[in-house]
Each structure stands twice: as C-alpha cells, then as structure tokens.
Amino acid sequence: MAKETLISISERTGYSISTVSRALSGKGKKYRISDKAVEIIKAEAKKCNFTPSLVAQSLRTNKTRTIGLLVPAIDNPFFANIASVIITTARSQGYTVIIVDTLEMELDEQEGIKSLLSRNVDGILVASSGQTPDYLEQVNETSIPIVLIDRFFPNTSLPYVTTDNYKGAFEATSHLIEYGHSRIACIQGAPFLLPVKERTKGYLDALKAHGLGKNASIVGSNFSIQNGYLETKLALSQTVPPTAIFALSNTILLGAIKAINESALKIPRDISIVSFDDNIYLDYLNPPITRATQPVDEIGSLAIKILLQSIQSGQRIDTKIQLPSRLIFGNSVSRI
C-alpha cells in the first residue's frame, strides 16, 4: 500500500482535495458537503487505510500535537514515574511526548529546548537542571508555553508544579529529632536547585526549632549515587560521626546505604536514615526506608493539564503549585 494522501483519495472518488479534507475532518456540515459525498469519501478512506500526514497538518496549522518533556535522568524512578503519567495523560488527549534526557546538564537542556523548538512542539514540560530560567522564560513569553515540574525557580514567571519540599524536609528532620537524634548529616543534591535549597532550609529550621542549629551539617553536591556514597563515607569517618543521615533523594540514599553496608554499622541499630522521594523499592530495602514522599502522580498529571490548558487557550497561565509531601514510615530510624 503506497502512501495514501488526500490527493489519491480525491482522484479515486472524483471529489476535490478540499472536499475530501473537509469530509474526513468532520467539517462536512460546516461546509455543506452532502451526506452522500461524505459517506463515499469516508468509505474510500477506510478502505485504503488513510491517515492524514501529521507533518503536513503541522506545517499548515502550526500545531504538532506534540509536547516536549525534559528530565535530568529518565532512569531515575522518580522521573520515570512522572514521565509515565505524563505520557499516558497526554496520549488520552491526542498528544505524543518527545523525551529529552538532559543528564543533569544545563547545556544539554538548552540544546534540547532548541531542538524541540525547531520541531515546533506545542508545549514543554521541564524538570530543569539549570541555574537560571532566563532562556526558559524567553521561550514561554514569546512562543511556546512551558510548565516546570519538580525543579523550579525563585521569582519566576513560569508556572510550576512541585512538592512542598520545605515542609517535607522539616517533618522528616523533626521525626529524627523526636527519636532522639541530634547529630544529623544532611546530604544534598546540586545546591543551586531551589527544591534542594528548600529541603535544606526545612532541615535547618527543624534543627533550630529544637535548639540544634549549631549541629547542622549539610554536605554533598549533586544527585548522584556516587555523591551519596562518598559523603556518607566521609561522615562515618569523622571522630564523632552522625547518628542519622538525611538523604535528599532516592539516588543519594542508595549511595549512603552502600557506604553503610561497607562499614560495620547496621541500619537502624547503629545509624538511622531518612530519605526524600518515594518508590516502590524503598519498601523492600533492608530495612524499609522512612521517607518524605512526593506525590508523583499528581505532579505529573497537574503539570500536563496546566500545559494543555495553556496550549489550548493560547494564554499563559500563572499557576504555581506546591503539593504536600507525606512522611512514610519504614524501619530505618531507631530511638536513641
């Protein structure tokens, strides 16, 4: 079956291209195409299994029904889960999703945006690895709507959907304190990221609220497993090591666990641990990990909804949403 087009159908049915186009796009009434013509055309289209070229449609209508999704690492379960709900939600509305894995690199992100722009995507969702949102805001203002997920920026005009990182971290830290911990090491991701800043602030404020401000210890530089591993190694080798670790992501957590496993220490007997993020595996770890969870599904589906609304209305929407974090209790924290 050679590629079918409006033209080929037009030739075979004897109707003009425009009539075929209108008949097939359901605009028969609007343009007064006779029922008989519509029927003939639709029958022929079905017979030869015609599907219109989205490329040509896009060129003509300037809409691609495609949205771009930029994430720092698609193999991180957190982003994989978000991608999952975004893809299926988008699909249910007739949109497909192009995924760009930015590898936590701002440059790759910028290049990715450019690539998406040249592809004329209708909108962009981004969990940014960047330090400033300038280039994102430029895009948003003049051409294509952008919605931030998870990672956001201070004083940005861009809409975002994220977690209440501050409160989540505050609660997680408070939990440790209530269990008697006073030396809690906090291992962070890239410090310039706002969610990270909020988490460390929550950590700090919780300490201060209990008069432990001077015990604060925030270390680490990125969201890699390696970072979690090395910082934990370091922390454990101190003369007075911490009694608890607060890992600011599931990746950092894994590194921390690895370092602890390599030591003589046992969780939670010798050292307690609390993490940020959630995923199904954390319940099966040894022991199950107490963690401040992010509402992944809600983040994804809210973000895509806002984006689609912005696309369809043609207006920029200024929705900034922080969804509540929830503490899930495992067995990784002991009383002191």
Which residues contact a second copy by CB under 8 A?
A: 1, 3, 51-56, 58-59, 64, 66, 73-75, 77, 80-81, 83-84, 87-88, 91, 96-101, 103, 114-120, 142-143, 225, 254, 257-258, 280-281, 284-287
42 contacts DNA (rule: CB under 7 A)? no
Tell me the closest approach of the beta carbon of residue 221 to DNA, in angstroms: 41
DSSP 66: E
Tell me the closest approach of the beta carbon of residue 46 to DNA, in angstroms: 14
Tell me the closest approach of the beta carbon of residue 138 to DNA, in angstroms: 19
Residue 114 partner contact from DNA, a second copy, none using kind-dependent CB cut-offs of 5 to 8 Å: a second copy
Please, which residue, 3 or 32, has the CB nearer to a second copy?
Answer: 3
DSSP 213: G
Residue 331 partner contact from a second copy, DNA, none using kind-dependent CB cut-offs of 5 to 8 Å: none
Q: Centre a 10 Å sphere on the Cβ of residue 274 and count the other Cβ atoms it contains.
A: 29
Stretch that binds DNA, among 2-10, 126-134, 164-172, 243-251 (CB under 7 A): 2-10
Residue 7 partner contact from DNA, a second copy, none using kind-dependent CB cut-offs of 5 to 8 Å: DNA
Please, which residue, 96 or 313, has the CB nearer to a second copy?
Answer: 96
Please, which residue, 184 or 256, has the CB nearer to a second copy?
Answer: 256
Burial class (CB in 10 A: 0-12, 13-18, 19+), 38: buried
Contacts of 130 (CB under 8 A, 6+ apart): 106, 109, 110, 136
Identify the three-state secondary structure at position 73: coil
229 contacts DNA (rule: CB under 7 A)? no
34 contacts DNA (rule: CB under 7 A)? yes
Q: What are phi and psi of 178, to 5 degrees?
A: -60, -30
Measured between alpha carbons, how far is 317 from 304 in angstroms, rounded to an integer? 12
CB 179 within 8 A of CB 333: yes
Which of 11, 43, 47, 59 is close enough to bind DNA by CB under 7 A? 59
Strand pairing partners for 68? 98, 124
Which of 43, 61, 237, 318 is close enough to bind DNA by CB under 7 A? 61
19 contacts DNA (rule: CB under 7 A)? yes
Tell me the closest approach of the beta carbon of residue 12 to DNA, in angstroms: 12
Tell me the closest approach of the beta carbon of residue 28 to DNA, in angstroms: 8
| Order of all β-strands in the sheet with 272-276 | 217-219, 184-187, 244-247, 272-276, 290-293, 326-328
Tell me the closest approach of the beta carbon of residue 137 to a second copy, in angstroms: 14
Please give the single-letter amino acid code of residue 285: L
182 contacts DNA (rule: CB under 7 A)? no
Nearest to 146 by CA among 308, 302, 295, 296: 308
Rounded to the nearest 10°, the torsion over CA 130, 134, 137, 142 is -130
Nearest to 250 by CA among 271, 273, 222, 277: 277
Please, which residue, 16 or 138, has the CB nearer to DNA?
Answer: 16
Please, which residue, 32 or 214, has the CB nearer to DNA?
Answer: 32
Contacts of 269 (CB under 8 A, 6+ apart): 334
57 contacts DNA (rule: CB under 7 A)? yes
CB 20 within 8 A of CB 9: yes
Please, which residue, 193 or 253, has the CB nearer to a second copy?
Answer: 253
